Amino acid sequence: MTNSPIIAENLVRHFGDVQAVKGINLEIKAGEVFGFLGPNGAGKSTAVRMLTTLLRPTSGTARVAGYDVVKDADRVRRSIGVALQDAAIDPLMTGAELLALQAVLYGIPSAMMKKRSDELLERVGLTAAASRRVSTYSGGMRRRLDLALSLIHQPTVLFLDEPTTGLDPMSRLTLWEEVRRLNKEGTTVMLTTQYLEEADQLADRIAIIDHGKIVREGRPVDLKAGVGAPTLIIKTHADQEERAKAVLETFGDLRPGAEGALGVGLRGGAAQVTEVVRKLDESGVHVQHLEINEPSLDDVFAEATGYRLEGSDNAPPAGDNGVEEPDTKKKSRRGRK
């Protein structure tokens, strides 16, 4: 256990009566991209804020880059790079000025500062915008600058808290590419996200957090295999739903689906679809829509939590899925995306 760059044991965080993180255990190995997946308010950001020394755990311990996050907070800070959920950047300053400030705060020698800043600006494609005020940057540019700032001291461990939330698809792909490149260069990455696809694309291993607890952990491929059966989704008239459920139950376990849709994990595999349709027809159920999905992280999530993440293909309508996560920054950051 001792060589892993991120280790959390029984990490707990209370905010008054609310228990935002309820004893999580994590071990992230060197060179991994670890995805921390969960809905808004599940406890992801609170966990990350504890691991990055911004918030003291109520109980439990965590070691990052070999140092205790409470006792050796300064050494942890020297070793990690962090891009938080909101790209927290002073809009009145320019990209180059912010990089210079960050370099000084991390103690980078004056002789190296300019070269390092220029390299990072080039890396994130902001050289031309370096002398512009950040207030003129697009959301994607801000995220890229945020990433550059977090890399100024060449950290061995990088925390990315919902790095692509609110970004357009192109900017998202660009950031994914950069995360992959950083990981190839040896950086251990802990990535929190509420996007299943992001976790699936980037993470070597993932943990699903819900109501402050880790409910599943493992390689995406293993977790999907664990779900086993493919999911058959049907839509029918509301007055026929009960009859349809009764039929579907005979083919496997019912799974959560979007509003107006029913899902079932087919025990006998996709080959059973024809038989399901025949039985539904015999029961007088008129099927309006039918689809079959191979197990996905969405199914893993649904199986682990009993509901689907908002934004996933089979998600229920907007509603709060988790414990309301107390605002550790005293500011609302929980707008539904």
Residues 294-333 touching another protein, rule: CB under 8 A, are 329-331
DSSP string, 26-54: EEE-TT-EEEEE--TTSSHHHHHHHHTTS
Question: Does residue 229 bind another protein (CB under 8 A)?
Answer: no
Query: What's the CA gap between 262 and 289, in Å, rounded?
Result: 10
Q: Among all chains, which residue has been given the structure tokens 């071990």?
A: 27
Contact range with another protein by CB under 8 A, out of 121-129, 213-221, 273-281, 285-293: 121-129
Q: For residue 133, report the phi and psi dihedrals to the nearest 5 degrees.
A: -65, 145
The phi and psi torsions of 28 (rounded to 5 degrees) equal -110, 125
CA distance 309 to 302: 8
What is the smallest separation between the CB atom of 83 and another protein, expressed in angstroms? Answer: 10
Give which of 151, 211, 212 is closest to 183, Cα–Cα: 151
> Interface with another protein includes 123 (CB under 8 A)?
yes
What is the nearest approach in angstroms of another protein to the Cβ of residue 201? 16
Q: Output 115 or 237, the one with its CB closest to another protein.
A: 115
Alpha carbon distance 261, 52 (integer Å): 41
Closest distance to another protein from the beta carbon of 202 (Å): 15
* Contact with another protein (CB under 8 A) among 107, 169, 284, 335: 107
Kindly write down the DSSP assignment for every residue of 1-32, as one continuous string.
-TT-SEEEEEEEEEETTEEEEEEEEEEE-TT-
Which among 52, 66, 72, 77 is positioned nearest to 190, based on CA atoms?
52
Which residue in 51, 84, 145, 214 binds another protein (CB under 8 A)?
A: 84
Of 74, 275, 294, 320, the one binding another protein (CB under 8 A) is 74
Kindly state whether residue 168 participates in binding another protein, applying the rule CB under 8 A. Answer: no
Return the number of the residue (3 or 330) whose C-beta is nearest another protein.
330
Our finding on whether 78 is near another protein (CB under 8 A) is: yes
In whole angstroms, how large is the CA radius of gyration of the chain? 23
Which residues are near another protein by CB under 8 A? Answer: 52-56, 74-75, 77-78, 80, 82, 84, 86, 88-90, 92-93, 97, 100-102, 104-109, 112, 115-116, 119-120, 122-125, 133, 144, 149, 151, 153-154, 174, 177-178, 181, 185, 329-331
